[in-house]
Structure 1
Amino acid sequence: MGQYQPAQLKQYNPEAIASYFRYRPWEIWGRLVRIIWCFAGFILGLKWDEWQNKIEQHKEKRAIQLRELLTRLGPTFIKVGQALSTRPDLIRKDFLEELVKLQDQLPPFDNNLAYHIIETELERSIWDVFSELSPKPVAAASLGQVYRGRLRSGEEVAVKVQRPNLRPVMMRDLYLMRWAASWLSPWLPLNLGHDLTLIVDEFGTKLFEEIDYINEGRNAEKFAGNFRDDLQVKVPSIYWHYTTTHVLTLEWINGFKLTDTTKIREVGLDPEAIIQIGVTSGLQQLLEHGFFHADPHPGNLFAVPDGRMAYIDFGMMDQLEESTKENLVDALVHLVNKDYTDLAEDFVKLGFLTSDTNIAPIVPALEAVLGNAIGKNVKDFNFRTITDEFSELMYEYPFRVPAKFALIIRSLVTQEGIALSLNPEFKIVEVAYPYVARRLLTGESPGLRRRLLNVLFKNGKFQWQRLENLIAIARTDSNFDVLPTAKLGLQFMLSEEGKFLRRQLVLALTEDDRLHTEEVQSLWNLVKDDLPANRLLDVAIALLTDFSKESVAAILPKDQPLAASKN
């Protein structure tokens, strides 16, 4: 590989890493011996429990041992543990519960070394850039540590400094993991759907993205752009003149961790209102923007005194395709409506089941597990319970968790965990489903409009009760206004795209040889208070102005053409 050095590799490249270490085995022997020694002791402990029939008695002890072992092995293995904490298809439930607690808090590295890294990276003296810089880090994690400072120009900033030699250390660990995966994969009873080395590669790619602070800065700006019109979400600005791959300078956020309810209340804020912002913005990331924060733990979310919620740390992000966003909406709607056959098909589309899977035996299993987890009332839904129950299915049926969804699950479980710590009665669906119902009813895209039709029609019949339920649930969302929604609905029906819906509504109104006036009256009673006469008149005038002759002609019988207009 010539003059190639590990620290020069900017992106994860398994071939380049393997080529480097293949001719330098002495650089990995010591590390390999330590890893084998640590895991051998742990595996022997598991086997001893098996021989002594004490698996149940010692399972909590072994889970704690695993968490502590990963912490001792350093940053790469801490990140592995965090990733595994969202993989019920790979890890036992008792281990999962312990790995969720895995924190990447480590002692800070030497302060003089951190200052030296800042000066080397920025190519100038500390005091040429900063008028103030904290003598010690205000936070230290597995990948770096943070200082509080002030630029010469007066702005208060956070300065993030990466741990020295982090990239070479991670490259060495990833090389060993990939080597182990290549020969362990055939022997492990794991339902991966693909080679274990591909999982290591996915992990390595994400890890390299996370330790590139220029990439993190770009992520922050993209995230801020998505929420530029949202007055409830705060994202720190990036100071690019003082940012490199290993040093990130960004706006200091004066706020309180979401778990610090005492301070939040002291400044006159309601913790539950802040949590609602967090859950709603999390849903927007997944279902609207498709670009989501994959690590929203309490240290990365802050309540700002002006009532906003701030996000920090944009190293771990991911992007969803449009089809995936729409399939997620499908899955949530089918889950809440208890359409388990459709839900099983959603799992195929999302990659949890392969396309050749026979879903027939899976449907009753989904109904038994998820129906029990949701309960009789939609408000009883708890995402943590769903993931715990779902993990039981992983060993009985050919489910696998795609890497992208491991991050989504981690994000949702973490946010719900924060909310539950503040309010044990918090139900994520009380926020999530009104949001989804509002998006379906407003039909912002052709895909969402198609999904609304799928909700409202089942086996060719119009589901009056579902429409009523959707409107009732959507009205619990403070952002939902029934009148603009009604206007959008009428515009859709008068369009070429709405031809099917017009025909189906006529059939629905006259279904079973009777006029369904009771259902229409019930819907009217639900929304009439939101439709005062003056607003109805305004909308009617607007609609008449908006629609062209062609739009109106589309719903008139063919033998009743519009009169020719006079010029």
Structure 2
Amino acid sequence: MAQQTFRTRTQDNLGATKKYDAEAIRRYYRFRPWKVIGRAIKIFWFFTGFVLGMWQDSRQHQQSEHKSQRAEQLRKILTALGPTAIKVGQALSTRPDLIRKDFLEELVKLQDSLPPFPNEIAFRIIESQLGKPARELYSEISENPVAAASLGQVYKAKLHTGEDVAVKVQRPNLRPIITLDLYLMRWAAGWIAPWLPLNLGHDLTLIVDEFGIKLFEEIDYINEGRNAEKFAVNFSNSPQIKVPDIYWRYSTNSVLTLEWINGFKLTDTVQVKAAGLDSDTLVRIGVESGLQQLLEFGFFHADPHPGNLFAMPDGRLAYIDFGMMDQLEENTKETLVDSVVHLIDKNYIALAEDFVKLGFLTPETDIWPIVPALETVLGDIIGESVGNFNFKTITDRFSELMYDYPFRVPAKFALIIRSLVTQEGLALTLNPDFKIVEIAYPYVARRLLTGESAQLRRRLIEVLFKNGKFQWERLENLIAIARADKSFDLLPTAQLGLQYLLSEEGKFLRHKLLVALTEDERLHTEEVRRLWNLVKEDLQPNRIFNAALVALAEFGSEGAAAILPAFSRS
């Protein structure tokens, strides 16, 4: 009797839980071996043909000839196994430390698309979740879904108050399917990990757990709605980004009603052109918003595939589907900016230390043998070949290092890589000549030059000074890179710089600049002349005068009176 009570309680807990709990799932399926065995046999059957094909290729020395065929076969198997397997395939497509290079290209083709489930089931779910039939809740609703994915499908509807909405309905019995697959994945990870190299198997169960956490979050539509609202707040001052409103009265954990977006997929180049939109502008908006998510807000959309990004007729970029999001801690954001600074600085020792802080290398790793490898992989990113850089190239090159050095991709960064690679692929669809650094570098340079925070100003100083000496060429490069973005106006940056120099915080930099002008026992007039030639078009005398007046006015007469003697002493 006690055992029966325990089993019932375990089942109830598993059914009620909204968050991933590996231990609760393990307890539940320990008493249901027939379910585990049945699913395991199905998975085993699907993969037997794949493994036998790989073995036969190896035996006949035909791996090279058949590698594209096997990669395609793997993609089809994952698609046939259902939503969890599709999500696994998408996640693995960003894991060069876990998947061979020749499989990556095929896995990135996986899309969240499955045949829709019956409409009568979808409408029953809406009624059971919202308490009324769909025809009463909405004045209009489409007979069939307008889109179907691995986790749900979407209907177009109209509220009685007149607003056009999208009604997202979750597939039935999704949680039992996912929990069973996650249980089997975690069990397999525990068996496989000890047989893998350290950098591949050290946290295999943790990777499964991270995947499970994100998957459970994705099937909780209340969580998705909150994510959308948080994302909207972050971009509230950006007129180029649109986030749909959530209608909470018509939303539950399994049904989500949100504002209908009148737009078209970014990959529909015909409609983009017909609407008179500039594809390069859309690419810039998408990449810069992605950089803002990572480096400013720390809250990023981890699944920006073509079905989740829409171009609107008015030129705005609309994000939809906020199920897969993640949050970066402040110290992680700062370390990411550090790594960009060290990359610009070509300081590969510091960059290796950044990789340790970010979790790509363990704290016990001896970084000295790795530094030359980093220089080999990253050494030509800033230089003559910068225009040829892309994330896919760097991912491929890193995948070769994974087996020679103890690099690993932390689970959180697998989502970041997925986001960046997906955005880059989307941009290349719109513009085959697109180079992400042409947007990313100006963005980072602008952020360093404007220095909105003390941390960014500190990193700018780190870039501009090396071994105590001012690096004139780096300042020239930063300005040149920032001005590559035609919308960048140097004058507000100069105004901010003047305000900073006049502040107490800028006392150190004032002193350093005066020393820089006279170091090596000479006046650096040539360097100043080059800088002036670089910026003189942006800094017309009348504009400089007005900006100086504004800077002094904002600083205040008392502050100026107090700082001028200090400036003269510097």
Q: In the alignment, which residue of structure 2 is the partner of 1:267?
A: 275
Q: In the alignment, which residue of structure 2 is the partner of 1:393?
A: 401
Task: Kindly state the Cα deviation for residue 80 of structure 1 after the two structures are TM-superposed.
Answer: 0.7
Q: Provide the rounded CA distance (Å) in 2 between the counterparts of 1:461 and 1:558.
A: 20
Pairing 1:363–2:371 present: yes
Q: Choose 365-374 or 485-494, whichever is displaced more.
A: 365-374
Q: Summarize the Cα distance change of 1:395–1:373 in structure 2 as closer, same or farther, 3 Å threshold.
A: farther
Task: Kindly state the Cα deviation for residue 192 of structure 1 after the two structures are TM-superposed.
Answer: 4.0
- Contact kept in structure 1, 2:193 and 2:201, CA below 8 Å: no
Q: In the alignment, which residue of structure 2 is the partner of 1:210?
A: 218
**1:188-207 alignment to 2 at 5 Å?**
188-189=196-197, 191-192=199-200, 194-207=202-215
Task: Kindly state the Cα deviation for residue 20 of structure 1 after the two structures are TM-superposed.
Answer: 1.1
Pairing 1:243–2:251 present: yes
- Contact kept in structure 1, 2:242 and 2:319, CA below 8 Å: yes
Pairing 1:277–2:285 present: yes
Task: Kindly state the Cα deviation for residue 504 of structure 1 after the two structures are TM-superposed.
Answer: 1.8
Pairing 1:34–2:63 present: no
**1:347-362 alignment to 2 at 5 Å?**
347-362=355-370
Q: In the alignment, which residue of structure 2 is the partner of 1:564?
A: none
Q: Provide the rounded CA distance (Å) in 2 between the counterparts of 1:558 and 1:442.
A: 22
Q: Provide the rounded CA distance (Å) in 1 between the counterparts of 2:341 and 2:394.
A: 15
Counterpart residue identity of residue 389, structure 2: F
Q: In the alignment, which residue of structure 1 is the partner of 2:484?
A: 476
Counterpart residue identity of residue 255, structure 2: V
Q: Give the 4+ runs in structure 1 shifted more than 6 A.
A: 558-561
Task: Kindly state the Cα deviation for residue 193 of structure 1 after the two structures are TM-superposed.
Answer: 7.2
**1:93-104 alignment to 2 at 5 Å?**
93-104=101-112
Q: Provide the rounded CA distance (Å) in 2 between the counterparts of 1:536 and 1:263.
A: 44
Task: Kindly state the Cα deviation for residue 493 of structure 1 after the two structures are TM-superposed.
Answer: 2.5
Counterpart residue identity of residue 128, structure 1: E
Task: Kindly state the Cα deviation for residue 478 of structure 1 after the two structures are TM-superposed.
Answer: 4.0
Counterpart residue identity of residue 310, structure 2: F
Q: In the alignment, which residue of structure 2 is the partner of 1:565?
A: none
Task: Kindly state the Cα deviation for residue 555 of structure 1 after the two structures are TM-superposed.
Answer: 6.0
Q: TM-score, normalised by structure 1?
A: 0.95
Deviations 1:498-555 (A, max 9, x none): 2322222122111110010111121122222222223222232233332464565456
Q: Summarize the Cα distance change of 1:36–1:548 in structure 2 as closer, same or farther, 3 Å threshold.
A: farther
Q: Summarize the Cα distance change of 1:367–1:172 in structure 2 as closer, same or farther, 3 Å threshold.
A: same
Aligned partner of residue 529 in structure 1, secondary structure: coil
**1:340-489 alignment to 2 at 5 Å?**
340-372=348-380, 376-489=384-497
- Contact kept in structure 1, 2:113 and 2:150, CA below 8 Å: yes
Q: Choose 506-515 or 215-224, whichever is displaced more.
A: 506-515
- Contact kept in structure 2, 1:440 and 1:451, CA below 8 Å: yes
Q: 2:175 aligns with which of 167, 172, 175?
A: 167
- Contact kept in structure 2, 1:148 and 1:157, CA below 8 Å: yes
Aligned partner of residue 302 in structure 1, secondary structure: strand
Aligned partner of residue 249 in structure 1, secondary structure: strand
Deviations 1:338-397 (A, max 9, x none): 333332222222211122222222122122223356662422222211111111111111
Q: Choose 525-534 or 457-466, whichever is displaced more.
A: 525-534
Deviations 1:472-503 (A, max 9, x none): 11122244322221222222223333232222
Q: Provide the rounded CA distance (Å) in 1 between the counterparts of 2:371 and 2:88.
A: 32
Q: Summarize the Cα distance change of 1:331–1:559 in structure 2 as closer, same or farther, 3 Å threshold.
A: closer
Q: Provide the rounded CA distance (Å) in 2 between the counterparts of 1:273 and 1:488.
A: 27
Q: Provide the rounded CA distance (Å) in 1 between the counterparts of 2:159 and 2:566.
A: 71
Q: In the alignment, which residue of structure 1 is the partner of 2:115?
A: 107
Q: 2:565 aligns with which of 544, 556, 563?
A: 556
Q: Summarize the Cα distance change of 1:358–1:552 in structure 2 as closer, same or farther, 3 Å threshold.
A: farther
Task: Kindly state the Cα deviation for residue 178 of structure 1 after the two structures are TM-superposed.
Answer: 1.0
Pairing 1:118–2:126 present: yes
Q: Provide the rounded CA distance (Å) in 2 between the counterparts of 1:66 and 1:148.
A: 34
Counterpart residue identity of residue 539, structure 2: L
Aligned partner of residue 515 in structure 1, secondary structure: coil
Counterpart residue identity of residue 540, structure 2: P
Aligned partner of residue 307 in structure 2, secondary structure: helix
Q: Provide the rounded CA distance (Å) in 2 between the counterparts of 1:496 and 1:57.
A: 67
Task: Kindly state the Cα deviation for residue 238 of structure 1 after the two structures are TM-superposed.
Answer: 0.6
Q: Summarize the Cα distance change of 1:58–1:452 in structure 2 as closer, same or farther, 3 Å threshold.
A: same
Counterpart residue identity of residue 453, structure 2: S
Counterpart residue identity of residue 565, structure 2: L
Counterpart residue identity of residue 299, structure 1: G
Sequence identity percentage: 69
Q: Provide the rounded CA distance (Å) in 2 between the counterparts of 1:282 and 1:442.
A: 19
Pairing 1:287–2:316 present: no
- Contact kept in structure 2, 1:90 and 1:190, CA below 8 Å: no
Q: Provide the rounded CA distance (Å) in 1 between the counterparts of 2:395 and 2:346.
A: 17
Task: Kindly state the Cα deviation for residue 131 of structure 1 after the two structures are TM-superposed.
Answer: 1.2
Q: Provide the rounded CA distance (Å) in 2 between the counterparts of 1:96 and 1:227.
A: 33
Counterpart residue identity of residue 151, structure 2: L
Q: TM-score, normalised by structure 2?
A: 0.94
Q: In the alignment, which residue of structure 2 is the partner of 1:14?
A: 22
Counterpart residue identity of residue 157, structure 2: G
In structure 1, runs of 5+ residues without a counterpart are: 562-567
User: How many pairs are equivalent?
Assistant: 561
- Contact kept in structure 1, 2:78 and 2:86, CA below 8 Å: yes
Q: Provide the rounded CA distance (Å) in 2 between the counterparts of 1:162 and 1:185.
A: 34
* Aligned CA-pair RMSD: 2.0
Aligned partner of residue 97 in structure 2, secondary structure: coil
Pairing 1:511–2:511 present: no
Pairing 1:71–2:79 present: yes
Q: Provide the rounded CA distance (Å) in 2 between the counterparts of 1:320 and 1:80.
A: 22
Q: In the alignment, which residue of structure 2 is the partner of 1:232?
A: 240
Counterpart residue identity of residue 207, structure 1: L
Q: Provide the rounded CA distance (Å) in 2 between the counterparts of 1:543 and 1:332.
A: 30
Pairing 1:527–2:535 present: yes
Q: In the alignment, which residue of structure 1 is the partner of 2:33?
A: 25
Task: Kindly state the Cα deviation for residue 28 of structure 1 after the two structures are TM-superposed.
Answer: 1.7
Q: Choose 490-499 or 515-524, whichever is displaced more.
A: 490-499
- Contact kept in structure 1, 2:263 and 2:312, CA below 8 Å: yes
Q: 1:312 aligns with which of 302, 320, 325?
A: 320
Counterpart residue identity of residue 210, structure 1: E
Pairing 1:135–2:143 present: yes
Q: Summarize the Cα distance change of 1:193–1:28 in structure 2 as closer, same or farther, 3 Å threshold.
A: closer
Q: Provide the rounded CA distance (Å) in 2 between the counterparts of 1:485 and 1:369.
A: 33
Deviations 1:454-485 (A, max 9, x none): 11111221110110111111122244322221
Q: In the alignment, which residue of structure 1 is the partner of 2:3?
A: none
Pairing 1:56–2:61 present: no
- Contact kept in structure 2, 1:374 and 1:380, CA below 8 Å: no
Deviations 1:165-192 (A, max 9, x none): 0001101111111111112211123514
Deviations 1:308-367 (A, max 9, x none): 011111000011122222222232343345333332222222211122222222122122
Q: Provide the rounded CA distance (Å) in 1 between the counterparts of 2:137 and 2:180.
A: 35
Q: Summarize the Cα distance change of 1:384–1:506 in structure 2 as closer, same or farther, 3 Å threshold.
A: same
- Contact kept in structure 2, 1:494 and 1:552, CA below 8 Å: no
Aligned partner of residue 199 in structure 2, secondary structure: coil
Aligned partner of residue 158 in structure 1, secondary structure: strand
Counterpart residue identity of residue 366, structure 2: N
Deviations 1:77-111 (A, max 9, x none): 11011101000011100111111111221111111
